[in-house]
Structure 1
Amino acid sequence: MKREELWDEAVRVVRGDLHGLVSVREDLERRWSEPHRGYHDLRHLDEVLAALGELRGGALDTDDEWASVVLAAWFHDAIYDVRAPADNERLSAELAREALSPHGIGDDVVATVAALVEASATHDVSVSSGPHAAFHDADLWILAAPESRFDAYCADVRREYAEVPDTAYAEGRTAILSPFLERASIYRTALAREAWEPQARLNLRRELARLHLH
């Protein structure tokens, strides 16, 4: 299902104003298409949505949970500024609240969407099912991508930080990626642990080895 169709499905499930939210979706697509983005672009959004589709049956119990993770996917990197990365998730969550609340979507759903977006800042989730687990795993699907796609992802992230010297980038990126290998499991849902975990660990080891060369 195309990203626009998934957006419409989610809005219908939570009884939002489909017509009124068209402009919100279009604004999000413009944001995801900003020229400074390397990895955090529409392809990443599509991959997160596809990963959520794989997890839907095993990790999500209700249609409202499904709608919440789909909307969170659309908003989670809506604001992406490499110069102030610490603010991206907070500002994206604020955007979700401001954009969704006036269009008939209930406070509980809006709060869940915002919480999912904010949680993506740390990728630190303890539950093994439900919206937080599913969204956590879908956002990290890229770590388990086929080798060629994972390598392209690494190159795309490097391009986003092109102004950072190689040594500083290698140190910073290592600090971000290494903790995933230190976890008992990178992923939280049973499906992701079984299907994605082995490839993710192989990919991470390869990238960390490359970074170590700088």
Structure 2
Amino acid sequence: MDDRLRERFAGLWSRTIGPTGAEAAWRALDAGYGAAGRHYHGWGHVADLLAGHDAVRALPDFAGLDHDALALAIVFHDAVYDTGRADNEARSADLLAAHAGDAAAEAVRAAMAMIRATAAHEPGADPATRLMLDLDLAVLGAQPPVYAAYAAAIRREYGAVPEAAWRLGRAGVLGRFLARPRLYGTAHFRDRLETAARANLAAEAATLRGGPEP
């Protein structure tokens, strides 16, 4: 893990939570993101979202947001990731709450709400949450080779799932995304990524429907 990310986390924790607890929180995060089975939802994913956030946070569209709370949500949003469970987002939010304690209640509550929103990825009224969700889904609109690597990494994370069941389940997820009137909740991401994301999702769905690969 890049030491710069750890230093960045320490600064973020100090600003949002306080002067203590950063080391214990980091160890808990690393136990999750650093686990061997995190082929996509590891530290690289967190770093990508933070970099994406850095690239847009100064834009007028996102002025006035609590960017530290958003960064805190990014860092914790996939801290708990068990492919056999359906409550990972709630448990990730609870992990943040457990380590933050009573400190910086407003920032922690905002971050926890953003983390929980990643369960359904349904954009709501909160502008910071819409940005958080768009950052998390930005990979869907990546160049096809990047998207293919992402899809392959997700499959590896679900390696215990038999191929037929995987194809059925994954196709269902992709179909639900494609059925939405829009994938991105902010104009910035929608204008730049919506078309490419739909093409990527449709291409993967077609591959899944094609049956076992040779």
2:63 to 58, 61, 64: 61
Residue of structure 2 equivalent to 1:82: 83
Shift, 1:114, TM fit: 0.8
1:127-180, Cα deviation, whole Å (9 max, x unpaired):
3x6211110101111101221111011111111111212121111111111122
Shift, 1:19, TM fit: 4.7
Residue of structure 2 equivalent to 1:93: 93
Q: 2: distance between equivalents of 1:62 and 1:126?
A: 17
In structure 2, the CA distance between the partners of 1:116 and 1:203, relative to structure 1 (3 Å rule), is same
Residue of structure 1 equivalent to 2:119: 121
In structure 2, the CA distance between the partners of 1:9 and 1:194, relative to structure 1 (3 Å rule), is farther
Alpha carbons 1:137, 1:188 under 8 Å: kept: yes
Q: 2: distance between equivalents of 1:43 and 1:17?
A: 26
Alpha carbons 1:76, 1:92 under 8 Å: kept: yes
The share of aligned pairs that are identical, in percent, is: 30
TM-score by length of 1: 0.89
Paired amino acid for 1:11: W
Which secondary structure state, in structure 2, belongs to the residue aligned with residue 40 of structure 1? coil
Aligned residues: 208
Asked if residue 205 in structure 1 is aligned to residue 202 in structure 2, the reply is: yes
Residue of structure 2 equivalent to 1:192: 189
Q: 2: distance between equivalents of 1:175 and 1:189?
A: 25
Alpha carbons 1:11, 1:67 under 8 Å: kept: no
Q: 1: distance between equivalents of 2:18 and 2:209?
A: 50
Q: 2: distance between equivalents of 1:184 and 1:172?
A: 21
2:155 to 144, 153, 158: 158
Alpha carbons 1:71, 1:113 under 8 Å: kept: yes
Any unmatched runs of 5+ in structure 2? none
Shift, 1:5, TM fit: 4.4
Shift, 1:12, TM fit: 4.4
1:180 to 153, 177, 181: 177
Q: 1: distance between equivalents of 2:48 and 2:7?
A: 15
Q: 2: distance between equivalents of 1:18 and 1:139?
A: 29
Asked if residue 136 in structure 1 is aligned to residue 138 in structure 2, the reply is: no
In structure 2, the CA distance between the partners of 1:162 and 1:67, relative to structure 1 (3 Å rule), is same
In structure 2, the CA distance between the partners of 1:45 and 1:174, relative to structure 1 (3 Å rule), is same
Q: Relative contact order, CA 8 A, sep 6+: which one is greater?
A: 1
- Cα RMSD, aligned residues only: 2.0
Any unmatched runs of 5+ in structure 1? none
Q: 2: distance between equivalents of 1:5 and 1:200?
A: 33
1:102-131, Cα deviation, whole Å (9 max, x unpaired):
5x3x2111111111111100001133x621
Residue of structure 2 equivalent to 1:46: 47
Paired amino acid for 1:68: A
